[in-house]
Amino acid sequence: MGRCLYALSTLILFNFLETKYLSNCCYICVEFQNYRIMSLLSSDFDIKDEDVFRNYLHSLIADEVKVGLNRNNAVLLFDPHDEFDLHYLQGVLEGPTAYYDMSQCKSGDYEVFVKQYVLPLVNGQIDYLLVDNVDKIPDIEEKDVFEILLKLIAKGEEYDPFQNILYVDKGSEHICRTGTIDFDKYKNRLIMRCEEKPSFLEPFTCHIVDCRNFVLLIHFYLEKSDKAFPLMLIFGKESGNSRLDECKRWVHEVCNSVDSKGHPFKQGNEYFLDKDGNQQKISDHTELLNRVILPESVTPETEFLLLHRYVDQFNPEALKYALDVVREHQLPVVFLTNSYEYNPNIDLQGFKVYHLK
């Protein structure tokens, strides 16, 4: 790729690196109903398109659910902002489904849940069991056995769902007994949703799908989209800085990315180190300002550049830098901004832009 330049926080390192990036992608174009969703340049979603956008995100989640099921796993949808409607899967999955909301169960409902939901799954009357709000089971007498049953189905273990019922309010033993059920045959038929990951579900028990919109969009951009354009997420007034900060935390925890505010020679630095380690003044090498220089910490394993500016977020130089990095280095760029600095006159041509609430 030739000579690349790298920036340190106060000094700039001038060095060589041979970098190769895989471009294994397709153009982002999703058909849903009668609408076509493509990269939105400088226009907001109107009221009608918000529903289309929500359905588009739901379709991405449904695809990830199918991935987990095909891997013979139960699926746990992590939805901390209550953005996904579990009923959506009833129109997507092949075969009959049953829906149960754990937050609404009351004392005595464990036996009902077993008879009307679990046994029909085992007997083939339904193909998928959708269990909502598994982290919000009320503090009732049967809470423990609800959690045990869900955990054992998810893990694919054997269990007699009637042997540990904690209440006897009918004056006799429960006459409906099935014997031991091997849930290994049915674990990939269980789909659960939660706002907080419940402690009773052990790590790696389920295929976890993160339903947060920024996670879905970044994941799709990196895995399936055309990365010839930078991705810009504009966080709206409803979420404010908190959702943007949450997005940055997720990126730092999960992704192999490098932070940037723009061209490293234009961030107030006065000096750089050349390839021999000698300190040089940037002002004596103004020709470098026209080079597309990557941050020092970028390596061939870097997934993308995370570009965010706390002030002057839509700075024209920063926008140009993002476009140049993608074009010249084939390195994906995720650009995070807030809607309070956005105006329709800003030229975002060449970006994939999504306005998030």
* Span 27-36, pLDDT tens digits: 222 222 222 2
pLDDT score of 179:
64
pLDDT band at residue 248 under the 50/70/90 scheme: very high
Domain-located, residue 60? no
124 with 89, same domain: the answer is yes
pLDDT band at residue 7 under the 50/70/90 scheme: very low
Cα(219)–Cα(59) distance, integer angstroms: 13
Q: Which residues contact 99 (CB under 8 A, 6 or more apart)?
A: 86, 87, 90, 130, 132
pLDDT score of 288:
66
pLDDT tens per residue, range 290-343: 788 888 889 999 999 999 998 899 999 999 999 999 999 999 999 999 998 998
Domain-located, residue 43? no
Strand partners, 191: 75, 130
Q: Name the residue among 230, 262, 219 with its Cα closest to residue 334.
A: 230
184 with 261, same domain: the answer is no
234 with 300, same domain: the answer is yes
State mean pLDDT over 59-74: 94
271 with 305, same domain: the answer is yes
Evaluate if residue 41 carries a pLDDT over 80: no
State mean pLDDT over 252-263: 90
Domain-located, residue 323? yes
CB environment 28-37: b (16+ within 10 A), e (fewer): bebeeeeeeb
Evaluate if residue 279 carries a pLDDT over 90: no
Q: Provide the domain count of the chain.
A: 2
125 with 256, same domain: the answer is no
309 with 197, same domain: the answer is no
pLDDT score of 237:
77
State mean pLDDT over 94-103: 96
88 with 163, same domain: the answer is yes
pLDDT tens per residue, range 115-150: 999 999 999 999 999 999 999 999 999 999 999 999
Locate tokens 């994939």: which residue? 352
Report the DSSP pairing between strands 333-338 and 304-308.
parallel
203 with 241, same domain: the answer is no
231 with 345, same domain: the answer is yes
Evaluate if residue 75 carries a pLDDT over 80: yes
127 with 238, same domain: the answer is no
Which range marks the domain in which residue 298 is found?
3-23+227-356
183 with 283, same domain: the answer is no
pLDDT score of 285:
64
Point out the least confidently predicted range of 19-23, 246-250, 263-267: 19-23
Q: Which residues contact 11 (CB under 8 A, 6 or more apart)?
A: 269, 271, 272, 273, 279
pLDDT tens per residue, range 146-176: 999 999 999 988 877 666 543 334 444 443 4
Give me the CATH number covering residue 238: 3.40.50
150 with 275, same domain: the answer is no
Point out the least confidently predicted range of 17-21, 42-46, 214-218: 17-21
Point out the least confidently predicted range of 93-97, 125-129, 207-211, 223-227: 223-227
State mean pLDDT over 107-112: 92
